[in-house]
Amino acid sequence: MSLNELLVEELRDLYSAENQLTKALPRLAKGAEDQELKDGFTQHLEQTKEHVERLKQVFSILEEKPTGKHCNGMEGLIEEGKEALGEEFEGDVYDLGLIGAAARVEHYEIAGYTAAIAMADALGQGEIVERLKETLKEEEETRDQLEQLLHTLVERAAEESDEDEEEEEEPVVVGARKSSSSGHTKAKIKR
Tens of pLDDT, residues 112-153: 999 999 999 999 999 999 999 999 999 999 999 999 999 999
Whether 80 contacts 36, CB under 8 Å:
no
Sequence-distant contacts of 143-152: CB under 8 A, at least 24 apart: 143/103, 143/106, 143/107, 143/110, 145/40, 146/40, 146/99, 146/102, 146/103, 146/106, 147/103, 149/34, 149/36, 149/37, 149/40, 149/99, 150/96, 150/99, 150/100, 150/103
DSSP code, position 173: P
Residue 171: band (very low, low, confident or very high) from pLDDT cuts 50, 70, 90: low
Burial 40-60 (b: 16+ CB within 10 A, else e): bbeebbebbeebbebbeebbe
Give the residue, 186 or 163, on which the prediction is more confident.
163
φ/ψ of 26, rounded to 5, equals -60, -35
Q: Which residues contact 152 (CB under 8 A, 6 or more apart)?
A: none
Whether pLDDT at 174 is above 80 = no
> Which of 4-13, 81-90, 114-123, 163-172 is predicted least confidently?
163-172
Q: Which residues pair with 187 in a beta bridge?
A: 176
pLDDT of residue 103: 96
pLDDT of residue 165: 62
Tens of pLDDT, residues 96-113: 999 999 999 999 999 999
DSSP code, position 68: S
Residue 24: band (very low, low, confident or very high) from pLDDT cuts 50, 70, 90: very high
pLDDT of residue 96: 94
Residue 166: band (very low, low, confident or very high) from pLDDT cuts 50, 70, 90: low
Tens of pLDDT, residues 37-94: 999 999 999 999 999 999 999 999 999 999 878 999 999 999 999 999 998 888 899 9
Residue 142 CB-half CA count within 13 A: 29
pLDDT of residue 159: 87
DSSP string, 125-171: -HHHHHHHHHHHHHHHHHHHHHHHHHHHHHHHHHHHHHHHHHHTSPP
